[in-house]
A and B are shown apart, each in its own frame.
Chain A
């Protein structure tokens, strides 16, 4: 504790604080620009960090990680172009809110949820890093496999209009994730002799194409309509549309709490990642809501659930890094490099040998949370103006940023081709009502599921009875079955209801379209 107080004293010096502010601002700005994000921020910052002091360098990287995660909500809400897949659930309800003239409300809720999730998760890291990391080690491939299997059931909840189309999109996601070297023998699968595909289709250019470029193409197609709608939105804004009301706070707090808990848990476990956190949180909040059908049409809880989980993942993914020296995310891997560059060895001995250094970093992380709130509120005022800019000006800028973001992922033009390929796929999936959200779930979960499944087979020695030695896995497998049965039941009920509605014959085409997104 005295270390932490001393840590604040060290961090609250202008020379360190300025780098946190720079990191958070840079991250928030990059996150808010569609196509750019964490990956770009880190690429820009790496050379810099090697010339900074360790605390300043690490504080800046953490600032970028936190800032870009919060900032990515801005593009998701205002333009329906999440820069990173983990913000895709934010767009589901955030964009409809923005179209209803409640952009500022959604942005504020997203920021508050981000900061709360981030701050609580950071406290959790500080209080429990060492014991949590030890406990997380007990979660091996068998348990992870069951958890991932369970996560697949969220395809059911997020499929949108048609369950069949949702499943097809999910399966396509898994299919594209199989491209690359096979896990055990390293035989290339479906790479057609292209070395660039050996490591699989990279998530960043894929997501940029699928989420941002495709959305811009769709919006370009109905530019006039959207522009004229935007003109009327801005004029008719009620003060309550620009802030989060008390009643909404009360509705959102449970969602934020759940999101923080889910995000923190997902961050600690190896191999799950931020996207699983935000999808899971959004899915659970939707499932528990009394007005299930209203999700996807502008429910503020959806934004709160997705953003709190998305940001809670960031600090908790540092738990294995601080306690064990194992990188839980890309940013964590960079942090390890930064620590080593400065002669520090991350791992269990860091707490014993460098307690003050660890405390300094913790203090920097808490400062970054608070700074994020300030930068976010400031930045939003600026970014919210985007909604008034005519699309003909927005689209070229976004496309340019997308190309930069995709290129920086691997430093080669190949990434831009990947982006374009998935932009075409994303365009048609939107036009034909296939959910790109379930595609993403399949793409993100598929490879991890395959890896852990194959690991599990060997660990269990091909004997299903040995599963009994893994109670956590059994619980999740049972849960999976329960959820699938529940979805099947509710779907058959929904089908009956839909038929009745169709007979009433006054369905709103606009609403249907929103649902299909």
Chain B
């Protein structure tokens, strides 16, 4: 990192003078013919700075800013797992100058869990998806089970085992499996990824729901099933939960969400700009070091994914008897 003296001096000088105008550092590449965008864009992120979504969002904002030629300013509006930011987005004009960068679980899962998240997919427009979350069930490397079937067998001999959950969605997996197989599980609440890794490394739990953070510990932790409908690039041999006979897979990908009624040309402009992240060196280096797979979908694929996963999840939550509260 010491071989960029010129860049360092330049950024130092710039950063000192224009500390707040982050996006302004980008060169004015490719002004739009149709006029959009002509002024800075605000990107809402529904989590505090420092988390995975924030990280990817800032990376994406930099790429968007390069492609669109205007600053894209990140504004963190943390609260209630992104719901505060999502509601804030609903109150803005559908002019493409306020966008939300958020996992699409806020539309395809939260409405089934939280009464106040009374959204349906058609309440928003989607300008593309960029990264996927590697959600799965993780355990210690030396655990005597590598698949869900082996875990169930082990769990029958060890009633009262401890499973780490990150919320009602994560509880659902163990509750559904335990009910189907007649297991006696103790489910403990964990608060966030750090807590989850702590519990796994400290052997407080025998299995935990992970948002993907556990892939940073390849020597100590392993995955026995993904809870997504796709296999994980970080562990391509691990089968999905659907493949292992429990049709519970639910996906979330980071998505550019806009208010309903945003004109299609604007969505196309954003979608094309987001596509550049797939080949942006700095963006790829960052996602690689955080084990975040880049799985780009354009605006039409994104809209279809939201609608289709909404229907799938609706069936899963209804079958589990979970009501929004």
Q: Which residues of A contact B (CB under 8 A)?
A: 10, 15, 18, 42-44, 46-48, 50-56, 137-141, 181, 183-188, 193, 195-196, 198-199, 270-271, 320, 324-328, 330, 333-334, 336-337, 339-349, 410-412, 451, 454-455, 458-459, 461
Question: Which residues of chain A are near B187, meaning CB under 8 Å?
Answer: 184, 458
Q: Which of A43, A188, A324, A346 contacts B49 (CB under 8 A)?
A: A43
B165: nearest chain-A partner, CB-CB? A184
Contact of B217 among A195, A270, A341, A348 (CB under 8 A): A348
B288: min CB distance to chain A, Å: 7
Q: Would you call A198 and B80 a contact (CB within 8 A)?
A: yes
In the complex, A327→B48 CA distance in Å?
A: 14
Q: Are B2 and A53 in contact (CB under 8 A)?
A: yes
Q: Contact: A195 with B87, CB < 8 Å?
A: yes
Among B15-31, those with CB < 8 Å from A are 15, 19-20, 22, 25
Across the two chains, which residue of chain A brings its CB closest to B291?
A345
Residue of A nearest to B75 (CB): A411
User: Is the CB–CB distance between B168 and A185 below 8 Å?
Assistant: yes
CB of B263 within 8 Å of the partner chain = no
- A181 to B83 Cα, complex, angstroms: 13
Give 25 A-B contacts (CB < 8 Å), ordered by A residue: A15-B8, A47-B19, A47-B20, A48-B15, A51-B11, A141-B188, A183-B189, A184-B165, A185-B168, A185-B325, A196-B80, A270-B198, A324-B198, A333-B48, A334-B50, A337-B50, A337-B51, A340-B290, A343-B285, A345-B289, A348-B217, A348-B220, A412-B77, A412-B84, A461-B160
Task: Report the bound CA distance from A43 to B22 in whole Å.
Answer: 13
**In the bound complex, do residue A458 and residue B186 qualify as a contact, i.e. CB atoms below 8 Å apart?**
yes
Taken residue by residue from 188 to 208, chain B's Cβ proximity to chain A (1 for < 8 Å, 0 otherwise) reads as 111100110111011110000
List the 9 shortest-distance A-B pairs measured between CB atoms, nearest first: A198-B80, A137-B202, A333-B50, A458-B186, A183-B189, A47-B22, A343-B285, A51-B11, A458-B188
User: Within 8 Å CB of B162, what residues of A?
Assistant: 458-459
Task: Point out which of B2, B50, B59, B203 has the most chain A C-beta atoms below 10 A from its C-beta.
Answer: B50
* B220-A343 in contact (CB<8A): no
- Judged by a CB distance under 8 angstroms, whether B143 is at the interface is no
Check B171 for interface membership: any CB of A closer than 8 A: yes
A336 in contact with B116 given A15-B8, A411-B77 (CB within 8 Å): no
Nearest-neighbour CB distance to chain A for B125, whole angstroms, equals 22
Assess whether B315 is interfacial by the CB under 8 Å rule: no
Contact partners of A333 in chain B: CB under 8 A: 48, 50-51, 194
Contact yes or no, B217 A55, CB < 8 A: no
In the bound complex, residues from chain B placing their C-beta under 8 Å from that of A138 are 202
A345, B290: Cβ atoms closer than 8 Å: yes
C-alpha gap A53/B11 in the complex (Å): 9
B residues 37-75 near A (Cβ < 8 Å) are 48-51, 54-55, 58-59, 62, 74-75
* Minimum Cβ distance to chain A for residue B184 (Å): 9
In the complex, B307 has a CB within 8 A of chain A: no
Using CB atoms and an 8 Å cutoff, list the residues of chain B in contact with chain A: 1-2, 4-5, 8-9, 11-12, 14-15, 19-20, 22, 25, 48-51, 54-55, 58-59, 62, 74-81, 83-84, 87, 113-114, 116, 160, 162, 165, 167-168, 171, 186-191, 194-195, 197-199, 201-204, 216-217, 219-220, 285-286, 288-291, 325
Contact between chains at B171 and A184 (CB < 8 Å): yes
Contact A330 B50 (CB under 8 A): yes
Whether A325 lies near B189 (C-beta < 8 A) is no
| 19 further contact pairs, Cβ within 8 A, besides A51-B25, A334-B49, A345-B291 | A51-B22, A53-B4, A138-B202, A183-B189, A183-B191, A185-B168, A320-B194, A326-B198, A330-B50, A333-B50, A334-B50, A337-B55, A342-B1, A343-B288, A347-B216, A410-B78, A454-B189, A455-B189, A459-B188
Question: In the complex, A350 Cα to B190 Cα: how many Å?
Answer: 25
Least CB distance, B204 to chain A, in whole angstroms: 5
Residue pair A199, B194 in contact (C-beta under 8 Å) = no
User: Which has the most chain A C-beta neighbours within 10 Å: B4, B20, B162, B288?
Assistant: B162
Q: Is the CB of A327 within 8 A of B50?
A: yes
- CB neighbours of B199 from chain A (8 A): 140-141
**Beyond A336-B50, A340-B55, is A199–B1 a contact (Cβ under 8 Å)?**
no
Contact A344 B197 (CB under 8 A): no
Q: Are B79 and A196 in contact (CB under 8 A)?
A: yes
Residue on A nearest B21 in the bound complex, by CB: A47
Contact present for A340 and B186 (CB under 8 Å): no
Residue in B closest to A50 when the chains form the complex, CB atoms: B58
Docked-complex contact A199 and B79, CB < 8 angstroms = yes
Say yes or no: B55 contacts A341, CB within 8 Å: yes
**Closest CB in chain A relative to B324 CB, distance in Å:** 10
Which residue of chain B has the shortest Cβ distance to A338 in the bound complex?
B50
- Residues from chain B with a CB closer than 8 A to the CB of A461 are 160, 186
Asked whether, in the complex, the Cβ of A451 is within 8 Å of the Cβ of B191, the reply is yes
CA distance A326 to B197 in the complex (A): 7
Do A186 and B325 form a contact, CB below 8 Å, given A198-B79, A324-B197, A340-B289? Answer: yes
Q: How far is the CB of A145 from chain B (nearest CB, A)?
A: 12
Closest to B202 in A: A137
* Bound-complex Cα distance A75 to B74 (A): 31
Contact present for A195 and B194 (CB under 8 Å): no
CA gap between A352 and B53 in the complex, in Å = 28
With a CB–CB cut-off of 8 A, which chain B residues contact A51?
11, 14-15, 22, 25
In whole angstroms, what is the CA distance A187 to B54 when docked? 25
Contact of B168 among A186, A195, A343 (CB under 8 A): A186
Q: Are A327 and B194 neighbours in the complex by a CB distance under 8 Å?
A: yes
Check A55–B1 contact: CB distance below 8 A: yes
**Bound-complex Cα distance A144 to B187 (A):** 18
